Structure 1
Amino acid sequence: MTSGLQERSPLACLYHWKKTQPQTVHFVQPTGGGQVSEYTWAQILDEVRRMAAHLQSLQLPPRSQIALLGKNSAHWIMADWAIWMAGHVSVPLYPTLNADTVRYILEHSGAKLLFLGKLDDWPAMQSGVPASMPIVRLPLSPEARGESWSELIADTAPLQGEPDRRPDELATIVYTSGSTGQPKGVMQSFRSFQLCGSLLNELFPLTAQDRMLSYLPLAHVAERLIVENASTYHGFKVYFAESLETFVNDLRRAKPTMFFSVPRLWTKFHLGVCAKLPLKKQRLLFRIPLLGRKVKRKILEQLGLEHVRIAVTGAAPLPAPIVAWYRSLGLDLLEAYGMSENFAYSHFTRPGDAKTGYVGPPNPGVDCRIGDNGEILVKSPAQMMGYYLAAEATAEAYTADGYFKTGDMGEVDSENRLRITGRVKELFKTSKGKYVAPVPIENKLGAHPKLEVVCVGGANQAATYALALLSEDTRKQLGAGGDRAVIETELVTLMEQVNTGLDPHEHLQFITVVREVWGIDNGFLTPTMKIKRNVIEKHYEPQVERWFRSGRPVIWEGA
């Protein structure tokens, strides 16, 4: 990091890079058909200054909320910076929300204007945007009403000087992904961006020579921290993904040196490799010294991760066998833990000090303790300013001495490394009157190569059970005439193995293979690909009693 840069605001960092590296390419944006547009620091700052000048010309009240709706792109981040430079507050929305949630966030936040970016299904969201709300269309946005970013900056002179923001000012309102109930607006200050820009470098050194691929939603604090904010402070190049279909090519173009993903995607990568090269064969090949190294290198090359020196997983637990598999390839997969309320700055596994199943010790400046009920309590330098328009909810979120109540349960080992054991509110009682923590059971089941995601239930039932979505490759095999009986035998064996490690009251009675694919679009997963437990349980609840009565260990929904 350039000396003294860590003491500056994000906007001050932009001015620094424009002065010191004006012709260095910072953003690489796919534009379709294998083509890309490159943006230097000089080009970026010119566009940001022009859009900031346009926003100021609208004479909105000082520190107005301005919304950002779109998939990751160079102009998404430019719009974020322009909002700040103009003296306002950014409100990012996930690009997969339904119209009702879009409407709720826009109304609740009091947004005065919407930047509309790249989207897959704008018609499904369009009715959630008030007809009276001004819209600025970013490059790559769908056809919509409103003004064009490109035309506005062509007609607007750049804002002069170096306008800046104070550390204690509100920078952004991040609406939580809402795994239960309506999303809450988490208020984060510029101090959080500044502190994280500095402190992140103490965990792993970043330089302007690093590269990252941006594809997880920038509306989520983790991507905002690790990609947008880290690149702002360290100046490394950011590549953007075009689509799911082009993801592999996007990854190979970027050749990332740092790669951040969520468990669902790490699992899909793992399942994809194992479908082509079964685990049993991998183990045999890995034992052969020279050939083993070549095979491991080839796997990483096929994934586009051969240049990665820092690999991070977060947002939810990743089954221990999958973590161990990546580490066996030579990829030191580091687990991280944090949330919107502390700008994802809480715990991080240190390189060379990984312990499978643990998310590492507290980050520099973070204090953590375990409450009397087993809840993880955290005090972070990036703690939120509070929930927007929700003083009561803000007060309830903290202990009397200022620790944030995470809602997660955990335990700490002798080296102060944290292990997440479940959610406080996800504990449920069976009819036997004993509590069950579903997450550890889900992690054990989810390590099986034929399962993509699992949800364990059993509240007020005589026993627990699991709902399981088969992996994509397994679903394709069945669709092509594969034998269910083989999969059923494997699932029975899996359930018996898992049950041997559980207390009697936790034992699974059956596994139901669900028919519908759980996704973000149909509401079963949050935008960060965590299961929406309440939605899943409600959807399958009418069938649970019948499944229990069937007495079968494996049930195929709809069969």
Structure 2
Amino acid sequence: MTILDYFLKWEKEKPEDIFLKQPRGSNWVNFTWRQVGEEARKILGALQQEGFVRGDRIALLSSNCAQWIICDLALMMGGYISVPLYANVSASAMQKILEGSGARFLFIGKLLPKDWHNLQPAIPESVQTATLEGYDKEGIKPWSAFLRSSIAPTLVKPNAEDVFTIIYTSGTTGDPKGVVHTFGSVMNAVLVASDAFMLNRSGNRFISYLPLSHAAERGLIESGGIYCGGTIAFVESIDSFATTLQAIEPTHFFGVPRIWEKFQAKILEKLPQGKLSLLLNIPFVAGMIRSKIKKSLGLHKADLLVTGAAPIASELMLWFQKLGIFICEAYGLSEDFSVLSIHPKDDIRMGTVGKLFPKQEVYIDPETHEIRQKCGWLMQGYYNNPELSAKTIVNGFLYTGDMGQLSADGFLTITGRVKDIFKTTKGEYISPSALEMKFTGLNSVDQACVMGAQYPQPFVLIVLSETGKAMHKTEVETQLQAVLDTVNREVMEYQKLKKAIIVKEEWTNDNDLLTPTLKMKRNVLSQKYESALKPVYEKKEMVSWE
């Protein structure tokens, strides 16, 4: 069976159950399995009337919403290949993706006005367009006009080897690459992860807010939700995020580290750390405090809390554990549909990214320490890039680009990224990620980046969190100095950090210093700061301000 087969199964078995929940202001618009099927078939009929055939690439530009999944199901039904785009993709990246994938049609949905203003002029003339329902835009064929030509659709039954989607990576080291997944690879990923992700049961409720154009959200939320017959709810805006969580009471929640950091900051705003620690030490009060905090976050009925997509500080996970909130870290890549390892709920080992999923072969290269993986859910390759595909999958093994260590009982620790390593002017190689995590564990730090290719010793750039910005300058300096001292006692001489420099500008996707999935663009940061900060680097103080 494919993901589409599972949708058709639930559509037949429980047509009137709610599948998707879309917020509209203070109200919810609910879509049953039957309604979703009907809407998807209308889209399919319109595409077939326009002359699109099985195998055509159809792009989707939108934030998460019910119409995103409805549209994606229509593409599955027609045997089309979906090309999802990040809602905050840059105009140049969008052009490259649309042209590189050969997309003939682009659906445009929920977007911020500033993003749409930048993207509209960059849509190639060769690409036909239409809006999704409820998101009409000037100059684009509206939803109603697009559906006017809809005919009775002909459903295509995809095979396991048929291409399901081309997921473009967010491009931390260059232009986005098109990761090609088949219906078979996606289904294999869902099946092997189904026990750990608690998908083999009924009654699951999911919140979809991280980009559906990312493999992790596409796998756990969309594909996992369809597989188990669950309910998927969406978030209207950042402002309504908390109330949506409280209203839906999800059984599953996936949050990147920055989301958990924001949750922590929100809790500490209302309950400062000193007072919180005191209350948690009072036996009959501690339980009430934990319960109240979990309920305020909307996570009091969550059975599975997952983090991934970027490293999370062990200190942050331990902080939440004291509140009775146990976060499981997962690890994977777009190339394996985000399925390689996850913490078992009853065995969360700090510093690791969990235990390997079954039915795969993973080994660590003894020389480079690179993690290599062979399984039945690897990508087919990179779209129209056979040379890179051949370098990335060798003898059936995916060369992940990440470095790691594997314990005898299958727990994986990430120790760095092959491409992140840089050489100082002393000729010594530095792996930055482990050093950075020492700083991101502080509540005063939002982001940290170790660099120093132009210097004899590496140094770390710091972006302060909202908590850090509210702290006295000397308190921030004391915190950072303490971490510097600890780090420098633990590492080799050539790895010792010369200093920490607190920068003025936040790193965001808008200023092109982060990818759409909020990963640092190290090469861009290096170009921006390394030479410019030389006068600051030469100062005697170990903690300096830009």
TM-score above 0.5: yes
CA distance in 2, matches of 1:46, 1:302: 37
What amino acid is aligned across from residue 394 of structure 1 in structure 2?
Answer: S
Match runs of 1:104-253 below 5 Å: 104-120=96-112, 121-141=115-135, 143-153=137-147, 156-159=150-153, 163-206=156-199, 207-253=201-247
**Against the structure 1 CA distance between its residues 392 and 79, is the aligned structure 2 distance closer, same or farther, given a 3 Å change threshold?**
same
Write out per-residue CA displacement over residues 186-235 of structure 1, whole angstroms, 9 at most, x where no aligned residue. Answer: 00000022212322222233233111110000000000000000011111
- Decide which moves more: 88-97 or 149-158: 149-158
Q: Which amino acid is the alignment partner of residue 386 of structure 1?
A: G
Q: Distance in 1 between matches of 2:50 and 2:148?
A: 17
Q: Partners in 1 of 2:120 and 2:148 — Cα distance? A: 27
**Is the Cα contact below 8 Å between 2:307 and 2:330 reproduced in 1?**
yes
Contact 2:488–2:496 under 8 Å retained in 1: yes
Distance between the aligned counterparts of 1:74 and 1:490, measured in 2?
A: 44
Residue in structure 2 matching 1:489, options 478, 498, 514? 478
* Contact kept in structure 1, 2:48 and 2:153, CA below 8 Å: no
1:171 match: secondary structure: strand
Superposed CA offset, 1:34-88 (max 9, x none)? 1221100111000101111111112224311000001001111111111121221
Distance 1:286 1:158 in 2: 62
Give the CA deviation at 1:151.
4.5
| Cα distance in 2 for residues equivalent to 1:280 and 1:458 | 37
Q: Secondary structure at the match of 1:127?
A: helix
Residue identity matched to 2:71 = A
> What is the alpha-carbon distance in structure 1 between the residues aligned to residue 202 and residue 123 of structure 2?
39
The answer to which of 420-429 and 146-155 deviates more is 146-155
Whether the 8 Å CA contact 1:67–1:90 is kept in 2: the answer is: yes
Q: Deviations over 1:488-512 (max 9, x none)?
A: 2222223222322222222212111
Distance 2:340 2:382 in 1: 18
The reply on whether 1:73 has 2:65 as its aligned counterpart is yes
Q: Which structure 2 residues correspond to residues 255-274 of structure 1 after superposition, within 5 A?
A: 255-274=249-268
SS at match of 2:393: coil
The equivalent residue for 1:9 is 2
* Amino acid aligned to 1:317: P
Correspondences of 1:357-436 after superposition (within 5 Å): 357-372=351-366, 373-399=368-394, 401-436=395-430
Letter in 2 for 1:99: A
**Contact 2:10–2:33 at 8 Å: present in 1 too?**
yes
- Find 1:19's aligned residue among 4, 12, 15: 12
1:322–1:377 distance in 2 versus 1, CA, 3 Å:
same
Q: Deviation at 1:552?
A: 2.1
Contact 1:55 1:83 in 2 (8 A): no
Which of 498, 522, 526 is equivalent to 1:537?
526
Aligned pairs, number: 542
| Counterpart contact for 1:177–1:527, Cα < 8 Å | yes
The answer for the alignment partner of 2:491 in structure 1 is: 502
Q: How far has the Cα of 1:142 moved from its partner?
A: 5.3
Deviation readout 1:348-372 (Å, 9 max, x if unpaired): 1111011011112221212110012
Q: Which AA in structure 2 matches 1:390?
A: N
RMSD: 1.6
Deviation sequence 1:106-152 (CA, Å, 0-9, x none): 00000000000101120111122113421110124252333333454
What one-letter code is carried by the residue in structure 2 that aligns with 1:10? I
Structure 2: segments with no counterpart, 5+ residues: none
- Using the size of structure 2 for normalisation, the TM-score is 0.96
Any conservation in 2 of the 1:118–1:142 contact (CA below 8 Å)? Answer: no
Match of 1:291 in 2: 285
Aligned counterpart, 1:5: none
TM-superposed deviation, 1:380: 2.3
Deviation of 1:469 after TM superposition, in Å, equals 0.7
CA contact (8 A) 1:208 1:237 kept: no
Please name the residue that 1:4 is paired with: none
CA distance in 1 between partners of 2:377 and 2:293 (Å): 37
Aligned with 2:213: secondary structure? Answer: coil
Q: 1:457 aligns with which of 446, 451, 454?
A: 451
Matches within 5 A, 1:333-344: 333-344=327-338
Q: Which stretches of structure 1, 4 residues or more, deviate above 6 A after TM superposition?
A: none
Task: State the Cα distance separating 1:384 from its structure 2 match.
Answer: 0.4
Report if aligned partners of 1:138, 1:150 keep a CA contact under 8 Å in 2: no
Q: TM-score, normalised by structure 1?
A: 0.94
**Residue of 442, 447, 450 corresponding to 1:448:** 442
